[in-house]
Amino acid sequence: MIRMTLADVADAVGGVLDLARSDTRDTIVSGMVDTDSRLIGPGDVFVAKPGDVTDGHLFVPAAVEAGAALALVEHHVDAEISQIVVPDVVQALADLARTVVARAREIGDLRVVGITGSNGKTTTKNLVQRILQDEGETVAPRNSFNNDVGAPLTMLRVGEGTRFLVSEFGADTGGMIARLAGLVTPDIGAVLMVGLAHAGGFGGIEATQRAKTELVQAIRPGGIAVLNIDDPRVAAMAEVAAERGVTVRWFGRGPGAEVRAEDVEVSAAGTTSTIVVTDGSGERRMPLHLQVLGEHHVMNALAAIAITRELGVDPEDAIARLATVQIAERWRMQPLGSERVRIINDAYNASPDSMSAALRTLAQITEPGQRKVAVLGAMSELGEAAGEEHDRVGLQAVRLRIERIVVVGRDARRLFLAAIGEGSWDGEAVFFETSDEAYDYLMTELRDGDRVLVKSSNSAGLRHLGDRLGESFS
């Protein structure tokens, strides 16, 4: 966090400052801000957030023991630490983040990037971070910190020397992206795609489109919207950008994209393509090799190149840096195991689009003589579309000639039934209630040369099954 006095922090969050004996209103704080007392260090700010299971106020003494300089609380805690009492610490987090980013803009040349989309946000954020970190101090979310708590915590890591803030904006309801992006008014906003992820919470794909459009509406006038030309729902956001005086830059596979990919090829060694960048002087063609598995990650790379190009990074330099990225993120197309039995653990998130892309990747990286094995769990938050979309995945798995389809969890049973109905019988498709049962089966079933995809939503918990299999076959 940038340097602020205790009085400044209190003013920013609209709270009542309760000083410890050794502090004054002019005492400076500049440490990290966090809601987890285990991550607090000397000089940090602890946010005592009430939760569903426990209450952060109970951990203020632990934060003091760790050296915290300030606590944001909703009621006074008996502890020797300066406290700012606010009605709602989550709102206080947002208010403090807004102030910190605004001051950082005044102090230096901070540029803010916002990224949203139904799929690919975290991967694209990581790719953008990798490119920008060679240009200057870059702050980006840990893991998928993209909600009402995680996004402000990321913003609060901005310091006086930060050149780039990369924010990832997720949402499960309308208005959430507008609220979070409104804290920083991005210079560049990128929308990757509009799909069925979280569609149940939004109430349908049209509502999802409106929610993602909120990022374009939050871009500061004179800023830049980086949009996927291949997705009609994203492309339609260009009208909103024009109304706000925001310039549009296009990425994608189709004609008209200023950053596009051609000749995409996928193998177990990664993904190769030719990147074509168009500007006023013509076209530049450059080879890209991604170690990250999956054809769909080419789109994320295109978005990252388009974003960073607007920040002054030559696309050739961006491509060279992308080639060093080995995995998108833990549990996202993460190779585990060994060449004998390769496990691809992609079980952190799942939507119909990402499930389809992962299955296609499994088919593409499996060579003759090797078996394709898909270990699949439920896709969450699809609302009324859940049954139909699980059916679709089961049908696709069969049509891709996946030799073993292992379905885990009661919420995914319809996927199994769809595979059976499409002709995957005689042991080709099996169903298990629990991950332990699936693990026991796979340990007897898997053989040399198998390529195994583990894919589900986070709530299904198959990422741990993927880790377990990876360790067993390492």
CATH architecture designation of domain 108-322: 3-Layer(aba) Sandwich (3.40)
pLDDT at site 143: 73
Q: Are 34 and 63 in contact (CB under 8 A)?
A: no
Give the list of residues 6+ apart from residue 91 with CB closer than 8 angstroms, or none.
none
User: How many residues are present in the chain?
Assistant: 474
Give the pLDDT score at 199: 56
For residue 472, say whether it is annotated as part of any ligand binding site: no
- Does the annotation list 421 as a binding residue? no
**What are the backbone angles phi and psi of residue 418, rounded to the nearest 5°?**
-65, -40
Instruction: Give me the pLDDT at residue 10, please.
Output: 98
Residue 125 marked in a binding site: no
- pLDDT given at position 171: 81
| Burial of residue 140 (number of CB atoms within 10 Å: 0-12, 13-18, 19+) | buried
Burial-class residue 22 by CB neighbours within 10 Å (0-12, 13-18, 19+): exposed
Domain positions in the chain: 4-87, 108-322, 334-472
| Cα–Cα dist 24/8, whole Å | 12
| Domain 4-87, CATH class in plain words | alpha beta
The answer to whether 120 is a known ligand-binding residue is yes
**Is 119 flagged in the annotation as binding?**
yes
345 is an annotated ligand-binding site residue? no
Strand 16-18 and strand 82-85: the pairing is: antiparallel
pLDDT at 203: 62
351 is known to lie in a ligand binding site: no
Distance between CA atoms of residues 461 and 93, nearest Å:
30
Q: What is the pLDDT of residue 265?
A: 93
Q: Tell me the pLDDT of the chain (474 aa) as tens digits.
A: 999 999 999 999 999 999 998 899 999 999 999 999 999 999 999 999 998 888 999 999 999 999 999 999 999 999 999 999 999 999 999 999 999 999 999 998 899 999 999 888 999 999 999 999 999 999 999 877 778 999 999 999 999 999 999 999 988 788 999 999 999 999 999 999 998 655 555 567 888 999 999 999 999 999 999 999 999 999 999 999 999 999 999 999 998 999 999 999 998 889 999 999 998 788 999 999 999 988 889 999 999 999 999 999 999 999 999 999 988 778 888 999 999 999 999 998 888 989 999 999 999 999 999 999 999 999 988 888 899 999 999 999 999 999 999 999 999 999 999 999 887 777 799 999 999 999 999 999 999 999 999 999 988 989 999 999 999 999
Q: What CATH superfamily is the domain 334-472?
A: Mur ligase, C-terminal domain (3.90.190.20)
Q: What is the pLDDT of residue 392?
A: 94
